[in-house]
Amino acid sequence: MKTLKPHRKIQGALTLPGDKSISHRAALLSLLCGESLRILNFSDGEDCAASLKAVQTLGCTVESSSKRSLTITPPQSAPKDSVKIDCGNSGTTARLLAGILSGLDIPAEIVGDESLSKRPMKRVIDPLRELGASFAESAETLPLHIKGGAHGSLNYRMPVASAQVKSSILFAACAGGGEVAVIEDVRTRDHSERLLKHLGATITTHHPRVELKEDPNDPRKKTRTVLDDWKARIVVKGNGKLAGGDIDIPGDMSTAAFFFAAAAIGKGEVTIENLGLNPTRTAFLDHLRAIGCETHVESRVTISEEPRGVVTVRGSKLKGRKISGALAAQLIDEIPIIAVMACFADGPTIIRDVEELRVKECDRLEALIDNLRRMGAKVGSVENDGIVVEAKGEMQPTDFKSFGDHRIAMAMSIAALFLAGESTIDDADCVAVSCPHFYELLDSIKQ
């Protein structure tokens, strides 16, 4: 049980550990490289450690040269016998590794902890089977028994917006020498595409075609027609080993969201250097502007195909907002802290189309409803896929429950800063999944 004391004055500058999504992908793609990968600013969270442990189990060597800097050398040959790989609590590790192992024809059993063993895997298994992969049995959850065989061609339209599913398919094609086209109706984070390009893969991202015609009623104007009914079509063809080299990982936007939220609620100011500015990850900055905050971006640069910069957020009087559809998919990891900010805003915040939150480390929708009501907010569920949050007077201190979920623990810890007295939260150590030094970083911006 951790005691959380109120502290409303927020100001300071931070540098964060590397982006969690990119760190996972960099570690796992080392299995497909012809030479060593040198990775700078690798995430120090437990989830990414699971990906490192997985590649070591498969024969890679991992050497740390300095804090969060490491070199991964791929094995000379693949394991001959079946390998058991424990992914802990990391769904990213399990789903992306399923694609790589299917393409490499490495027989393996993928297992995880109790929480991960309940999370859906069928969304990955189905397209991998269409690509030719074989599994020992009909599997919808872990453990997965992989036999290999993903060497075919596939044109796959994503039934659900998921960067993990997309990445698993793309990685399987690179590993197995096949050719796939993944079609997205809702654009998801594109770290896999950028990293594959950086490592020399044959990959192309097609955007919808646009036709311009003269307006028959006014020849000075043109009408714009989008000819394709999708947002992106990503084509990958496996053609041997990927290149090694250097990967420099920017700071994690999903972690930054908690510190920016503290500035937003407390009308303070927080600056984060070397922060990832991938366009598929900056919707949270747009959200902050939409609810009344100021955001400033300086020193933009692109390294290892990933844009980054120095970002400053200044808080102000907040207002409610409606989030749904494609925007909800882009903000899926930030929904817990967005719900917390809604408790300190004028007007309701309506969040829809986030049913995916029910199959994370916990049911995050139910966890939010429970915790926000504990501190006095007005919270209601919207069918099965969302919530409505509204302030109801001054929020009161309470005993928060983390439900063993790092994002719930961090979100409620930010809320506690602005309550009328001391609160507590159980199992605060679960923040180590993504940001082990979260509370130290938080203390550094308390003024």
Spell out the residues 6+ positions from residue 408 whose beta carbon is closer than 8 angstroms to its own: 336, 362, 364, 367, 368, 371, 401, 402
For residue 223, give both structure tokens.
């009408």
Name the residue type at position 104. Answer: L
pLDDT in tens, the chain (447 residues): 999 999 989 999 999 999 999 999 999 999 999 999 999 999 999 999 999 999 999 999 999 977 789 999 999 888 888 999 999 999 999 999 999 999 999 999 999 999 999 999 999 999 999 999 999 877 789 999 999 999 999 999 999 999 999 999 999 999 999 999 999 999 999 999 999 999 999 999 999 999 998 888 888 888 889 999 999 999 999 999 999 999 999 999 999 999 999 999 999 999 999 999 999 999 999 999 999 999 999 999 999 999 999 999 999 999 999 999 999 999 999 999 999 999 999 999 999 999 999 999 999 999 999 999 999 999 999 988 999 999 988 899 999 999 999 999 999 999 999 999 999 999 999 999 999 999 999 999 999
Cβ 410 vs Cβ 420: under 8 Å: no
Residue 24 burial by Cβ neighbours in a 10 Å radius (0-12, 13-18, 19+): buried
317-344 as b/e: b if 16+ CB within 10 A: ebebbebeeebbbbbbbbbbbbbbbbbb
Cβ 337 vs Cβ 368: under 8 Å: no
3-state secondary structure 304-343: CCEEEEEEEEECCCCECCEECHHHHHHCHHHHHHHHHHHC
Residue 355 burial by Cβ neighbours in a 10 Å radius (0-12, 13-18, 19+): middle
- Neighbouring C-alpha atoms within 13 Å toward the C-beta of 187: 16
Query: What is each CA distance from 401 to 25, 113, 225, 371, 428, in whole angstroms?
Result: 31, 20, 50, 7, 9
Task: Determine the length of the chain.
Answer: 447
Q: How far apart are CA 97 and CA 95, in angstroms?
A: 5
How many CB atoms neighbour CB 246 within 10 A? 13
Pick the closest to residue 327 from 187, 233, 226 (CA basis).
Answer: 187
How many CB atoms neighbour CB 59 within 10 A? 16
Q: How far apart are CA 298 and CA 301, in angstroms?
A: 9
Largest Cα–Cα separation, the chain:
71
Cβ 15 vs Cβ 272: under 8 Å: yes
CATH 3.65.10.10 fits 20-210+227-248, yes or no: yes
The pTM score is 0.96
125-158 as b/e: b if 16+ CB within 10 A: bebbebbbbebeeebeebbbebebbbbbebebeb
Judge whether 286 counts as a catalytic residue: no
Q: How far apart are CA 332 and CA 89, in angstroms?
A: 18
Could you say which DSSP state residue 346 is in? B
Could you say which DSSP state residue 384 is in? T
370-406 as b/e: b if 16+ CB within 10 A: ebbebbbbebeeeeebbbbbbbeeebebbebbbbbbb
Q: Name the region of 427 (left: φ>0; alpha: ψ -120 to 50; beta: rest).
A: left
Which residues belong to CATH 3.65.10.10 in the chain?
2-17+251-444, 20-210+227-248
Q: How far apart are CA 22 and CA 248, in angstroms?
A: 10
- Neighbouring C-alpha atoms within 13 Å toward the C-beta of 348: 12
Q: Name the region of 292 (left: φ>0; alpha: ψ -120 to 50; beta: rest).
A: left
What CATH architecture applies to the domain 2-17+251-444? Alpha-beta prism (3.65)
Element housing 128 (H / E): helix 122-130
Q: Which of 333, 353, 363, 427 is catalytic?
A: 333
